[in-house]
Amino acid sequence: MSAPSTFFRKNLLQHKYSLLITYALFTVEMLGVLMRPYFLGEAVNGLILHNYGGLITFLMVHFAWMIVGTIRMRYDTRTYTNIYNSLVLTFLIKRNLQENLSKLSAHSTLTRELIDFLEYDLVFILDAIYSIIGSMVMMYFYEPSIVLLCLILLIPVVLMSRVYGKKMIRLNKNRNDELENQVDVISSKNPEIIKRHYTRLRNWQIRISDQQAFNFGFMEIIVMVILGVSLLLSVKQQQIAILAGDLIGIYNYLLKFIAGLDTIPYSVEKYATLKDIINRIDDGETGEVK
């Protein structure tokens, strides 16, 4: 990406307090999500002993999470629509519609993608980070050996993601290069040129999809190993009379860890897309070629 004084960075800083509030609410919401399996397990353990205190606590935690989540979602929409309007108006007015119409149209669409990333994808990615780190912290108190397994399997995932990221940066760049010419291609009214344009777009999208499919298969192999070995470790743990609620907690956190792990390829892909978008629009703002 370009230097810290990019067009987007300067504009987003104008909304830093709104963004701070929405991500603070999201953090509180994720803490609630992370603690729910623990309180659910405690509720089950208590009910087995005819003690309802754990159930009441679990329901209170769930209710508090619901309230925070509702407030955060309402605030999100107001924050991001305001940011998008500010960005796109600044973007269009500053250029005064003087540059190539096809490229300007493509960049305006990419601006919307950037805001969608901040509103939806970044939240999804942060959720995955909370799930991976938080689940391992919580599982440590149940069964440390499962955490060790998760840490070991993170190594091939990280290495594979680096390779995947480099490929996705290149593929997204080529696809967006083609998209920048779309208005000009359609305006040419030449059937052959239009056909070649959409054929190239189709081919780039297929190559992107093939990379996604390959990484899906790789990640699912990792998931199979985690589930299989964790089951064996849990059998060992059950030999010392593990409580039913603790077992529920372990597998809820294990599933959250796996869900977070499945998000890593998606996160890498979104980073590649975001990097290309910002570079393109910063190029247009500075007139430089990176």
What's the mean pLDDT when you consider all of the chain? 77
CA-to-CA separations, 124 to 65, 81, 100, 262, 266, in angstroms, rounded: 17, 18, 35, 11, 10
Residue 99 DSSP symbol: S
Tokens of 239: 């030999």
Q: What is the pLDDT of residue 288?
A: 45
Helix and strand numbers (H, E) in the chain are 9, 0
Using alpha carbons only, how large is the chain's radius of gyration in Å?
A: 24
Rounded-to-integer distance, Cα 199 and Cα 33, Å: 44
Q: What is the pLDDT of residue 105?
A: 61
Task: Give residue-wise pLDDT tens across range 87-133.
Answer: 766 666 655 555 555 556 666 666 667 777 777 777 778 888 888 88
Torsion of CA 65, 29, 84, 171, to 10 degrees: -130
Give percent of the chain with pLDDT exceeding 70: 78
In sequence order, the 6+-apart residues with CB closer than 8 A to the CB of 87 are 8, 11, 111, 114, 115
Task: Give residue-wise pLDDT tens across range 232-264.
Answer: 776 565 555 566 777 778 878 888 888 888 787
Q: What is the pLDDT of residue 1?
A: 42
In sequence order, the 6+-apart residues with CB closer than 8 A to the CB of 194 are 185, 186, 188
Going by pLDDT thresholds of 50, 70 and 90, the confidence category of residue 210 is confident
Q: What is the pLDDT of residue 67?
A: 92
Output the pTM of the full model: 0.63
Going by pLDDT thresholds of 50, 70 and 90, the confidence category of residue 287 is very low
Question: How do the residues of the chain divide into helix, strand and coil, expressed in percent and rounded to 5?
Answer: 90, 0, 10
Place of tokens 């290309």: 276
Q: Domains of the chain: which residue ranges?
A: 7-286
In sequence order, the 6+-apart residues with CB closer than 8 A to the CB of 265 are 161, 164, 212, 215, 216, 219
Q: What is the pLDDT of residue 275?
A: 72
Task: Give residue-wise pLDDT tens across range 140-157.
Answer: 888 788 888 888 888 888
Rounded-to-integer distance, Cα 53 and Cα 47, Å: 9
284 has a pLDDT exceeding 80: no
For 7-286, CATH number? Answer: 1.20.1560.10
Q: What is the mean pLDDT of residues 76-80?
A: 81
